[in-house]
Chain A
């Protein structure tokens, strides 16, 4: 009978080192997957911490908020800035204790709880063999013919979609509804997440896709394909970063602190560019992989503080909804 085999396969839990303390890190599946930075981070930290770093995959913030003070998480890894306000309000997180004065970010970072480990900007990515005359500015994008099709992500289900909402708001302010009205006919479809959009773009369905300034690096480094480019707009690009924080309720305060201390070290930071396809939060540009150094950089970075973004979220979403449901 095959049943015993099945039960073994199902019940087999990964061997946990018995005597070593466990650092529990909640993170999204794009981080912990085989192809994300998770495995390298785990290996790197375990090499010196004399501990067992355990990633718990899933919707990290929803989970921590549901669990409250009884959470087993020691670290929450990979939050986006659009949720830090709510995370902060829960009072569950403790200061990171790092000096953030000399980060390699295009903006100033003064948050004492949420520590950025990577960054990038939203951008529209195109294939130069298919789109010969890409828009050179946001204004040109709005004026482009309606048969130039773009795919974007839903701001209600995707962080990059929300970043676009804030990007348009920061460029156009009160004129945002007009901008959306001009953009809407060019939007082929709105997908739930980034990966569905990006898949449609690589299949040739759309001329441009809402993605990141760093996206072309993947194609260059992994596929020797230099045809994918990010359109750089003089109006500026919206800044995105992913942050980590330690829980106030951790039962491994030393380990958690050691992990937070490790994030800004060159050892950790060099993992980021080619595993996360984003820029490192603290690493001199000369130490970036060549492919990242070669990427065209926007001259202007746009960013709303946590409070501004939180206040803008609902009104901006309503504007977007109105433009797309007319």
Chain B
């Protein structure tokens, strides 16, 4: 028993150390910016408008994304068809797309000159506009629907097959299944999903800037950028950074209050599928899957169609940057996996809410504040430029944490609840426990986490622009091409970026399934 307590403490201590490190980094960089500014500055009316817009667009985006994800996840959970697993993976793609690439795709489909408006014009119908707040919401749903579907689908798959079989033998209809199995699961999963999407949209920057249509759709992150770049007002940037963190903490407290873990008990991991009702539900499921797939895959297809022919003509620098970015993404993903696992395992053992909050912090920490803070902190000791690539790798690993945690915490909690006591009583610990129990049982979530981290790192442009260096990453190279009028090369670059991000995600995700 004593050994058990010792192990318990050690696992928790790991999480506490990681969480403290995170909190120190996020808080420290914010403090550094404040210190450089010698205090905080007050916010003007335009800043408050930005806060308000940020809040409501994030809330609406999160509500729409998670609500629309439920039928899609349910249809995918209970139907089997050829190419299903490929489709599930492909549906995850928008979330990991670099923002600018996704915007190109959305414009190609929904833009003024896009396919949908072309069709509407032909049919003599009024056009739809992607510009304005509706465009921001559309883009946010495009990005976050896949994440929501994945997380909810995992919830469905986490219901043991035995429950569904029991339900079938009790003669449960779809309504009873929904009431006794699906709703409790959704009750447990949805708040986390909503929160994750809300937080992602909170710090959204480029989307609002490209599609927002102007000052009506200014987000807090843009206000921070403006404070840095145009007003040199670090104090205001820090104030806005604090507001962002404040909103996040409130949202998280709200989500905890709503969330109750579903308890289904352990199953035997039989390959299973929830009952698949026939009749109109069959047709509606098919319809839901088709519409969702069309909405998510079409824009990516449009980007590919445009950029693909140009790829052979890409200059060698682009390929160099692609290789560099890939290596960075792999290291980032490894770091993210280790960090996420440490945090999730310790969270599974005790409900240390502050650790979970710390784990979510990177999501709302402004990349601009983080980068500038790091610059201020590191500058007296080293040349930040020489650390541009390692810093980018580290920051990207941290930025992927919140998503990894969302996927891993529920799995780790279930693992702990179902097998923790057994493993403890067998005195199974250390590497053996990791090797034979933890890693295999968490493989799927870990694969997803690693894939997500690698893909996000691949597409990230955030911190690198502050330190840039003379070895650009692929996303930076794409911006440079755009800045030199080379739009055709840039769209080829976009395809390359998309293909690599997606490839990395796919390898990790598949790996998790096969392990």
Q: Which residues of A contact B (CB under 8 A)?
A: 6, 9-10, 13-14, 29-30, 32-36, 55-59, 61-63, 65-67, 72, 86, 149, 154, 156-157, 162, 184, 187-192, 194-196, 198-200, 202-206, 215, 218-219, 222, 277, 320-321, 324-325
Q: Find B225's partner among A67, A157, A195 (CB 8 Å cutoff).
A: A157
Cross-interface CB contact of B209 among A191, A198, A203, cutoff 8 Å: A191
Residues from chain A with Cβ under 8 Å of B213 in the complex: 187-190
User: Which listed residue, A58, A66, A194, A206, touches B468 by the CB 8 Å rule?
Assistant: A58
Residue on B nearest A7 in the bound complex, by CB: B331
Which residues of the other chain, B, contact A65 by a CB distance below 8 angstroms?
A: 232
Contacts of B472 in A (CB 8 A): 29, 33
Q: Which B residue sits closest to A13, measured CB to CB?
A: B386
Question: A63–B216 Cα gap in the complex (Å)?
Answer: 30
Chain B residues lying within 8 Å of A200, measured Cβ to Cβ, are: 107, 111
Q: In the complex, which of the residues A57, A157, A190, A277 contacts B470, with contact meaning CB atoms closer than 8 Å? A: A57
Contact of B131 among A189, A194, A325 (CB under 8 A): A189
Q: Is B425 an interface residue (CB 8 A)?
A: no
Residues of B within 8 Å of A66, CB to CB, are 36, 372, 375-376, 379
Are B113 and A205 in touch, CB under 8 angstroms? yes
Q: Evaluate contact between A192 and B468: CB separation under 8 angstroms.
A: no
Q: Are B485 and A222 in contact (CB under 8 A)?
A: yes
Instruction: Please list 26 pairs of residues, one from A and one from B, whose beta carbons are closer than 8 Å in the complex, sorted by A's number.
Output: A6-B330, A6-B331, A10-B390, A33-B477, A33-B483, A59-B229, A65-B232, A66-B379, A154-B222, A156-B222, A157-B226, A157-B229, A184-B214, A187-B213, A189-B212, A190-B209, A190-B213, A190-B215, A192-B225, A203-B108, A205-B111, A215-B485, A218-B485, A321-B215, A325-B215, A325-B216
Query: Do A321 and B229 contact each other (CB < 8 Å), given the known contacts A6-B331, A195-B479, A199-B490?
Result: no
Extra 8 A-B pairs, beta carbons < 8 Å, given A6-B331, A324-B216: A33-B480, A58-B468, A61-B232, A66-B376, A157-B222, A188-B213, A192-B225, A203-B108
> Nearest 7 pairs between A and B by C-beta?
A57-B468, A33-B480, A35-B484, A195-B482, A192-B209, A190-B214, A324-B214
Chain B positions within 8 Å of A, measured between CB atoms, are 36, 46, 49, 100, 103-104, 107-108, 111-113, 131, 135, 206, 209-216, 222, 225-226, 228-230, 232, 315, 317, 323-324, 327-328, 330-331, 372, 375-376, 379, 383, 385-386, 389-390, 393, 465-470, 472, 476-477, 479-487, 490
CB distance from A72 to the nearest CB of B (A): 8
Q: Are A30 and B466 in contact (CB under 8 A)?
A: no
Chain A neighbourhood of B470, CB < 8 A? 14, 32, 55, 57
- Our pick among A62, A149, A194 for the contact of B228 (Cβ within 8 Å) is A62
Cβ-defined partner of B466 (8 Å) among A36, A58, A157, A195? A58
Residues of A near B482 (CB, < 8 A) are 195-196, 198-199
Closest beta carbon of chain B to A93's beta carbon, Å: 15
Contact A325 B107 (CB under 8 A): no
Partner of B315 from A29, A34, A61 at Cβ < 8 Å: A34
Q: Are B487 and A199 in contact (CB under 8 A)?
A: yes
Q: Which residue of A lies closest to B478 (CB)?
A: A195
Output the nearest chain B residue to A65 by Cβ-Cβ distance.
Answer: B232
Q: How far is the CB of A210 from chain B (nearest CB, A)?
A: 13
- Return the contact of A188 from the options B112, B216, B490 (Cβ within 8 A): B112
Chain A nearest Cβ from B228, distance in angstroms:
6
Determine whether the beta carbon of B485 is less than 8 Å from that of A198. Answer: yes
CB-defined contacts of A188 to chain B, threshold 8 Å: 112, 131, 213
Which residue of the partner chain A has the closest CB to B216? A325
Tell me the nearest residue of chain B to A217, going by C-beta: B485
Interchain CA distance A86-B231 in the complex, whole Å: 10
Give A58 to B379 CA distance when docked, in angstroms. 14
Verify B225–A190 contact, CB threshold 8 A.
no
List residues of chain B with CB within 8 A of the CB of A277. 484-485
The distance from the CB of A240 to the nearest CB of chain B, in whole angstroms, is 15
Task: Find out whether the CB atom of B484 lies under 8 angstroms from the CB atom of A30.
Answer: yes
Chain A residue numbers with a CB within 8 Å of B469 are 57
Chain A: minimal CB distance from B301 (Å): 16
Known A-B contacts A6-B327, A59-B466; A36 and B480 likewise in contact (beta carbons under 8 Å): yes
B481 touches A35 (CB 8 A): yes
- Closest approach, in angstroms, between the C-beta of B126 and any C-beta of chain A? 12
Report chain A residues within 8 Å CB of B465: 29, 58-59
**Contacts of A56 on B, CB cut-off 8 Å?**
385
Contact in complex: A29, B206 (CB < 8 Å): no
A192 cross-chain contacts in B, Cβ below 8 A: 206, 209-210, 222, 225
Contact B49 A325 (CB under 8 A): yes
Which of the listed residues A36, A67, A195 has the most CB atoms from chain B within 10 Å of its own CB? A195
B229 to A10, Cβ gap below 8 A?
no
Taking the nearest CB of chain B, how far is it from the CB of A301, in angstroms? Answer: 23
In the bound assembly, the distance between CA atoms of A80 and B465 in angstroms comes to 19
Q: Are B328 and A10 in contact (CB under 8 A)?
A: yes
Residue on B nearest A207 in the bound complex, by CB: B112
Q: Which of B211, B468, B483 is within 8 Å of A189, CB to CB?
A: B211
- What CA separation (Å) do A62 and B224 show in the bound complex? 14
Residue of B323, B379, B393, B483 near A195 (CB, 8 A) is: B483
**Complex: A203 Cα to B305 Cα, angstroms:** 13
Contacts of A222 in B (CB 8 A): 485
Report which of A62, A149, A206 forms a contact with B229, defined as CB distance below 8 A.
Answer: A62
**Once the chains are docked, how many angstroms separate the CA of A149 from the CA of B469?**
38
Q: Which residues of B contact A191 (CB under 8 A)?
A: 209-210
A-chain residues with CB within 8 Å of residue B111 when the two chains form the complex: 200, 203, 205
Give the residue among A14, A156, A198 with the most B Cβ atoms within 10 A.
A156
- When C-beta atoms are compared, the residue in chain B nearest to A192 turns out to be B209
Chain A residues contacting B232 (CB-CB under 8 Å) are 61-62, 65, 86
> Could you tell me the distance in whole angstroms from the C-beta of A275 to the nearest C-beta in chain B?
9
Distance between B227 CB and nearest chain A CB, rounded to angstroms: 9
Residue of B nearest to A318 (CB): B46
Please give me the residue from chain B that is nearest to A67 by CB atom.
B379
Q: Chain B residues near A59 (CB, 8 Å)?
A: 228-229, 465-466
Q: How far is the CA of A211 from the CA of B337 in the complex (A)?
A: 44
Whether B216 pairs with A29 at a CB distance below 8 angstroms is: no
The interface residues of chain A lying within 8 Å CB-to-CB of B211 are: 189
Contact (A30, B480) CB under 8 Å given A58-B466, A157-B209:
yes
